[in-house]
Amino acid sequence: MPSKAEENLPATNEGYGTREYWEQRYTNEAPDTTFDWFLTPSYLIPIIREQTQDIGTSARVLMLGCGNSALSEAMYEAGWKNIVNIDYSEKVIQQMSERHADKPEMRWQVMDVLDLQFEKESFDLIIDKGTMDAMLTTKGDPWNPPEKDVIACTKEVSEALRVLKKSTTSKFMYFTFGQPHFRRRYLEGREGSNLTVQEIGPPEGFAYHMFILSCGD
């Protein structure tokens, strides 16, 4: 018998990049389900804290493609209160807003990361934990992804930078299982921004990376 996790896998990897797959998955899952594709919130919190010490927990945070990850909840409990979570799945936003109704400062909105409905320079910290990765699951040559995927990932970063405050303390943080040579093309060369890349472990197993776009001095 397949496990619940296996039952919710897409027919092909490309399914991870479709709204239909995620809507169906969140509909099938119990409303209290929590899933983090990689890197636990407890592992990431110290990293995020270290990278944002200039502004601290007062930052206005945007979580891209939040899903039912526990990262926002963990950040809230660690002191970040002003968190806006977006996902294009209406079902998961409904589930998460009901689950966290006791956290009035944290907001949940149905929104596409490729078309952010916010004014420019609205956020101090923007986080993508695996959302871009889900858009890059088309089978084929990873060195030459389909044009539609290149356009989508480039657009996501452009939208994030548009709504990121132009301050030296503001950052776009992208956590990924993708190797730097496959991901740099979407982030480097952005006018007015500095890109840093760091391997963040964990110490055992697969190597994950953190990309940070910060505003120049």
Residue 195 sits in which domain range? 13-215
Quote the strand ranges of 72-148, DSSP E: 83-87, 107-110, 125-129
pLDDT score for 15: 59
Going by pLDDT thresholds of 50, 70 and 90, the confidence category of residue 140 is: low
Domain count along the chain: 1
pTM: 0.90
d(CA 94, CA 117): 18
The pair of structure tokens assigned to 20 is: 């239909």
The pair of structure tokens assigned to 187 is: 């982030």
- Identify whether 111 is part of a domain: yes
CB 63 within 8 A of CB 33: no
Kindly compute the dihedral angle of the four CA atoms of residues 184, 61, 37, 34, in this order, to the nearest 10 degrees: -170
Q: What is the share, in percent, of the chain residues with pLDDT greater than 70?
A: 90
Kindly compute the dihedral angle of the four CA atoms of residues 96, 99, 102, 108, in this order, to the nearest 10 degrees: 10
CATH classification of the domain holding 206:
3.40.50.150
The pair of structure tokens assigned to 67 is: 């899903």
pLDDT score for 210: 97
- Identify whether 119 is part of a domain: yes
The pair of structure tokens assigned to 54 is: 């200039």
Mean pLDDT of the chain: 89
pLDDT score for 23: 82
pLDDT digits 0-9 by tens, 158-168: 999 999 999 99
- Identify whether 152 is part of a domain: yes
Written as one string, the DSSP assignment of 168-199 is TT-EEEEEESS-HHHHHHHHTT-TTEEEEEEE
Mean pLDDT of 128-139: 88
